[in-house]
Structure 1
Amino acid sequence: MSGDEVLVGYDGSPDAALALEWALDEAGRSGRPVRLAYVFEWLTVTGWIGPGVAPGLWPDDAARRQVEELVQRAAADAARPGLTVTGEVYDGPPALVLQERSAQAGLLVLGTRGHGGFGGLLAGSTAVSVTAHAHCPVVVVRGNTGGRTRHVAVGVDGSEHSLLALGFAFEQAAARNVPLRVLRAWHVPAGQRAPSDPENQEAIRADRAELDEPLARWERAFPDVDVTVDVSEGSAAALLVAASRDAQLVVVGTRGRGGLAGMLLGSVSQQLLHHAHCPVAVVRER
């Protein structure tokens, strides 16, 4: 598996089809190969069973052949001139297998839910788990996937993870030839007056100035990207969910400032996975 390919979690569900379309669009811009990964989970009353179990416990071969035919047909239907699309079937728990395969991918693309997802779940357990543990950036395709002229939005709080997200967002905005909107949340210190107070306005300007250096570095690398910066009072999750209404992609790091070291996925990232109105990219260091 190439470390530069776009890996798509695919199970034939409508959400997986949306993820595949997004991945093909991304690959069309970047020239990366696309690999469909169908994870075939063998289940018994005691859980997953893998190689080496008694033959009588396995389903008949027809189920496996149907899965392989589904993946190969989807890969063939997705083929486009100049674009390499392949499909492969893996065995095991989907979240674990996709996490392992992400170590050899440049980007992992998922739908919000696969087959068997409950309608009330805004994001499936596989999508959330894989996003928390993957070894490469993950895009969860949800909401409005159209609007190609819309901007890319990114949440930046100055943390290491958010600066990685900023670089990814610049690359995406440049590749799509759309503006980049950088958002930073600011909170009124406890006991202080409203955000319009002059002291608070000075604090907001200081917060904005903290972004100058990382922004300048990426603006030199991508001089054609039109960048706006919004520092607004409020919750980071609420600001980004609102921004996702008018964006074609919203980008965040796995955790921001204040995140506990043991938490692989921060609350802002999780809120976006559940409530964003467009695809969400969660970026982490490989």
Structure 2
Amino acid sequence: MTNPFDPVVVGTDGSEVAARAVTWAGDEAAHRNRPLRIVHAVEPWAPASPMLPPAVPPAALCEAGRRILAAAHRAARERHPSLEVTSELLVRSPGAALREQAEGAFEVVVGHRGKGGFASLLLGSTGLHLAGHVPGPVVIVRGEPAWAGGDVIVGVGPATVDEAVLDHAFEAAALRRARLRVVHGWRLPMITDTGYPIDMRDAEDTVRWELHRATAAQRKLHPGVEVVEDVVRGHPVAALAGMSHSGCLVVVGAHSCTGLGALRLGSVGHGIVHHAHCPVAVVRPRS
């Protein structure tokens, strides 16, 4: 169970992409009845010598950061007047700042690109590593996102389904009153090891039944959520990215092996972050 007072944390660098992330995070916090925390990181200057402590950033950068935070804070309160909003300027590297903030957060939200800092962090291996190691979900906001108004899409494999990933997806769908699409992408050989052809229809029916069984517990907890199982022949990234056109959120797990075609996190995570048409939530599995 998460603490109901844990905030939704969003990083901003003042870019338009970051502003959309702040808007999405504010909607998320308001619908979940959680506070919103907006943070901006200012890199400390490197010391002239390794033996010296880092120098403080120049006052101009700190002042610019405060203006960025003030604008984001004002926009969030105008959109949700009753929302509890706090903001903080952090003298840290963006990665260190996000890891620090994530320890006491329900989830961390960032834009998919920007002028630097938080918004550029999640485009490479650093962000995917962060998503797998911080306690809560990491949400990468893409495009012109709407918090609701489309399907919630979760990528799973029947043999590797994690309850934390499904719980997040079902809860997100219930909050949005959205349909949940449970997606499994696969690429099977046309024949078995014994040389006999595979009955693709039977194979797909078997996988779909396994997906239904894997989500049985969450269906009982969320009886009002409409669930559709999609078994897609093809690359899992292509399957999820294609469905994200009609989605409001894609949820994937931060596993070493996602279960979507047995691809490693880096491959699937990078693909979805770069090609999804809606926000992507990367959820750490329960240990």
TM-score by length of 2: 0.83
Distance in 1 (alpha carbons) for counterparts of 2:51 and 2:91: 7
Q: Which moved further from structure 2: 77-86 or 226-235?
A: 77-86
Match of 2:69 among 71, 78, 83: 71
Contact 1:186 1:234 in 2 (8 A): yes
Q: 1:219: which partner in 2? A: 219
Residues 216-235 of structure 1: CA distance to partner in whole angstroms, max 9, x if unpaired? Answer: 21111111111111112111
Alpha-carbon offset, residue 6 of structure 1: 0.1
Q: 2:24: which partner in 1? A: 22
Q: 1:285: which partner in 2? A: 285
Distance in 1 (alpha carbons) for counterparts of 2:137 and 2:122: 21
Q: 2:252: which partner in 1? A: 252
Distance in 2 (alpha carbons) for counterparts of 1:123 and 1:177: 30
Distance in 2 (alpha carbons) for counterparts of 1:42 and 1:161: 41
Q: 2:53: which partner in 1? A: 52
Contact 2:24 2:146 in 1 (8 A): no
Distance verdict in 2 for CA 1:27–1:116, change over 3 Å: closer
Contact 1:152 1:179 in 2 (8 A): yes
Alignment map for 1:51-130 (pairs within 5 Å): 52-53=53-54, 57-79=55-77, 80-116=80-116, 123=123, 127-130=127-130
Contact 1:34 1:85 in 2 (8 A): yes
Distance in 2 (alpha carbons) for counterparts of 1:136 and 1:116: 23
Contact 2:165 2:285 in 1 (8 A): no
Q: 2:241: which partner in 1? A: 241
Q: 2:41: which partner in 1? A: 39
Alpha-carbon offset, residue 91 of structure 1: 1.5
Q: Which amino acid in the other structure matches residue 39 of structure 1?
A: A
Alpha-carbon offset, residue 75 of structure 1: 1.2
1:145 has 2:141 as partner = no
Residues 92-131 of structure 1: CA distance to partner in whole angstroms, max 9, x if unpaired? Answer: 21012202321210011000123148xx999367644533
Q: Which amino acid in the other structure matches residue 52 of structure 1?
A: P
Distance in 2 (alpha carbons) for counterparts of 1:267 and 1:190: 24
Contact 1:162 1:252 in 2 (8 A): no
Contact 2:165 2:284 in 1 (8 A): yes
Alpha-carbon offset, residue 73 of structure 1: 3.8
Provide structure 2 residue ranges, at least 5 long, that are not aligned to the other structure: none
Alignment map for 1:133-282 (pairs within 5 Å): 133-146=133-146, 148-158=148-158, 160=160, 162-189=162-189, 191=191, 199-255=199-255, 256-257=258-259, 265-282=265-282
Contact 2:204 2:231 in 1 (8 A): yes
Residue 182 of structure 1: SS of its match in structure 2?
strand
Q: Which amino acid in the other structure matches residue 75 of structure 2?
A: D
Alpha-carbon offset, residue 281 of structure 1: 0.8
Q: Which amino acid in the other structure matches residue 13 of structure 2?
A: D
Distance in 1 (alpha carbons) for counterparts of 2:48 and 2:279: 35
Contact 1:151 1:179 in 2 (8 A): yes
TM-score by length of 1: 0.84
Provide structure 1 residue ranges, at least 5 long, that are not aligned to the other structure: none
Q: Which amino acid in the other structure matches residue 215 of structure 1?
A: T
Alpha-carbon offset, residue 63 of structure 1: 2.7
Contact 2:5 2:34 in 1 (8 A): no
Distance in 2 (alpha carbons) for counterparts of 1:274 and 1:71: 27
The root-mean-square deviation of aligned C-alpha atoms, in Å, is 3.2
Distance in 2 (alpha carbons) for counterparts of 1:2 and 1:42: 33
Distance verdict in 2 for CA 1:51–1:27, change over 3 Å: farther
Match of 2:15 among 13, 16, 35: 13
Residues 108-167 of structure 1: CA distance to partner in whole angstroms, max 9, x if unpaired? Answer: 1000123148xx999367644533433210110002413832111111113556542222
Q: 2:6: which partner in 1? A: 4
Alpha-carbon offset, residue 285 of structure 1: 3.2
Distance verdict in 2 for CA 1:122–1:167, change over 3 Å: closer
Distance verdict in 2 for CA 1:103–1:159, change over 3 Å: farther
Distance in 1 (alpha carbons) for counterparts of 2:235 and 2:53: 50
Count residues in correspondence: 274
Alpha-carbon offset, residue 244 of structure 1: 0.7
Identity of aligned residues (%): 38
